[in-house]
Amino acid sequence: MNNKSKRASIRKDFIKDFEEKDYFSCYEKLENIIKLYSEEEKETIEYCTDLYNLSFIQQNLGKYSISIKYYKKLLKILDKKEYDINNKDDLEKVNFVIDVENSLGVCYTKSSIKQSFSINCFERALSLAKKYLGEKNDKIVNLLHNIGCSYYDIEQYEDAIYYFLEELSIRKDKNLDFVDNLNFLGYSYEQIKKYDEAIGYFNQALDIIKGLSGINSEEYLANIYYISSVYSKMEKYEDAIKSYQKACSLIEQKLGDKHPYLAETLSKLAENYLKIDKTEEALKIQLKSLNIIKETVGEKHMFYASALKRVGDIYYILEDFEKCLFYYENENKIKEDVIGMYNEEYVNSLLNLINIFIKTNNKEKQEEAKNKLIKMVDFDLSKKSYEKAILILCKIYMHNNLVNDLYDIYENYKYVNNIDSFDDMVKKAKNIDEDIINKDKKLNSIFNSYSEEENFENIFDEELKEDIFDGIKNLFDGIKREIDKIENKNENNSTEKDNINKNDEEETEEDNNI
């Protein structure tokens, strides 16, 4: 059996392993295939296809830097300044180059390397696609989407909008990919605070989803949630309340009345009630959210701790400090048990407690909490975080007319900032951004102990949105077609999505195998 036949035989086993997603076995087989090529054969389209497959498998295994080297090697082999679109081989090659550039861009996006590198890859692929494949085709649509998403990731929202709009202008079918395009426009306009435009695109997407999937679909629910959030940012609280109520109703119908998504949406609803001074209604809703979280995720969870704080915040607004203390103490205990003491999350919770201990005249616990905070020196907490915590502590004491205690605090403050005088410390404390004292009916946080945005703003996104690189989701079909073509069957090539963690070990060994 000659080497070409051996390669064909191994490929059949590779396809079987790929279908079973046994990527480690795929890698071993492709490595063996690569070894069966002579130096003279390493300029052929067959070799390029196998190297492409190997690159993709490494990509699936999270070895992005290795994949990047392979894709770059491919581009050097395939490089040609001009292509003749009337020449079948040239057309095949230009399609291959576009796919490789697209895959290389995805690897740059997934790796820790600069995002601008991925944009360069996508733009080179886009330029080739427009020049040789025409102005309107699926490759161009997918590349425009990838470029838009890359700009969105680096927070260049105006550039993202440009590409998303171009993508939208050439889309034909009003399917879920069309919806995705509209939603990304909505996200981008929301980021630059052009809320009317954002709402417009979210509503367009909602109308299409209604026709495609119906009002009980997850996609429809997600868009209702996005729209609710934008109404709140626009300070259209009545509209936000109606929209969140609709979202709650849909979640109950689809997921039941005991689900963390419902709990989070209820919390958002409660927040908007606070914005229109309906504090009692907000409390009722927030307590319902708390009970759902308790029953679904349990009491030893950061999600539950954050829900306790939200209830405590409302009792603080109502100036029911005893009840507020109950919820803050429980929140603080969970954080100590789950994440430990020496981090900003716990410190923020401790600061809230100190403030409420003062309000409830609990001198002993106040001193205990204050001393615990003061002892968090720089080997436990960074100096920057420690200084910030001390300044907020000063603000608490000033607000509660405990000015004499500031001198004791200053002795500890000097440990991290021995340049500032006592008066400097007091001035900084007065001007510190976090409003730990003056909570109002719009729910300014006492001291926002964590960013809700990080945990739940995209609560539906992970479950419902397709990967932004939808242009590579059919890679396996493309690989199979390329192999069939090499063995005198069909022709074509495309790509599939990946989502596996980075692992760059054995890089030198992989290079040697090529």
Confidence grade of residue 432 (pLDDT, cut at 50, 70, 90): confident
Lowest-pLDDT range of 53-57, 362-366, 368-372, 383-387 = 383-387
State the pLDDT at residue 209: 95
Single out the residue of 224, 223, 225, 291 nearest to residue 258, CA to CA.
Answer: 291
Return the axis-axis angle of helices 138-153 and 157-170, rounded to nearest 10°.
Answer: 160
pLDDT of residue 503 exceeding 60: no
Tell me what the mean pLDDT of segment 322-344 comes to. 93
Which residue's structure tokens are 């829900």?
307
**CB 135: neighbour CB atoms within 10 A?**
9
- What average pLDDT does the chain have? 83
467-481 residue pLDDT tens: 323 322 333 333 334
Q: Single out the residue of 502, 467, 475, 488 nearest to residue 54, CA to CA.
A: 475
State pLDDT tens for residues 216-266: 898 999 999 999 999 999 999 999 999 999 999 999 999 899 999 999 999
pLDDT over 90, % of the chain: 62
Q: Per-residue pLDDT for 461 more than 80?
A: no
pLDDT digits (tens, 9 = 90+) for 481-495: 443 444 443 333 333
For the segment 252-270, what is each residue's pLDDT rounded down to a tens digit?
999 899 999 999 999 999 9
Residue 423 has pLDDT above 70, yes or no: yes
pLDDT of residue 430: 87
Interval 390-403: pLDDT, tens? 999 999 998 888 98
Residue 329 has pLDDT above 50, yes or no: yes
Q: What is the mean pLDDT of residues 458-473?
A: 34
What HEC string does 165-213 produce?
A: HHHHHHCCCCCHHHHHHHHHHHHHHHHCCCHHHHHHHHHHHHHHHHHHC
Q: Which amino acid is at 118?
A: S
pLDDT at 508 over 90: no
Domain boundaries 1-134+473-514, CATH class: mainly alpha
Answer yes or no: are the C-beta atoms of 165 and 185 closer than 8 Å: yes
What's the alpha-carbon Rg for the chain, to the nearest Å?
Answer: 29
What is the predicted pLDDT for the residue at 498? 40
pLDDT of residue 134: 81
Per-residue pLDDT tens for 137-175? 889 999 999 999 999 998 999 999 999 999 999 998 899
Q: Is the model's pLDDT at 511 over the cut of 60? A: no
Q: DSSP character for 220?
A: H
Residue 227 is predicted with a pLDDT of 96
Task: State mean pLDDT over 106-133.
Answer: 88
How is residue 466 annotated by DSSP? P
pLDDT confidence tier of residue 507, bands split at 50, 70 and 90: very low
Domain ranges of the chain: 1-134+473-514, 235-340+441-448
Average pLDDT over residues 373-377: 82
Question: Which pLDDT belongs to residue 434?
Answer: 59
Query: Which strand (E) or helix (H) includes residue 481?
Result: helix 475-486
pLDDT at position 465 over 60: no
Q: Identify the architecture of domain 235-340+441-448 in CATH.
A: Alpha Horseshoe (1.25)
Per-residue confidence at 11, pLDDT binned at 50, 70, 90? very high
Q: What percent of the chain has pLDDT over 70?
A: 83
pLDDT at 458: 41
Q: 296, 260 in Cβ contact below 8 A?
A: yes
At 149, give phi and psi (nearest 5°): -65, -35
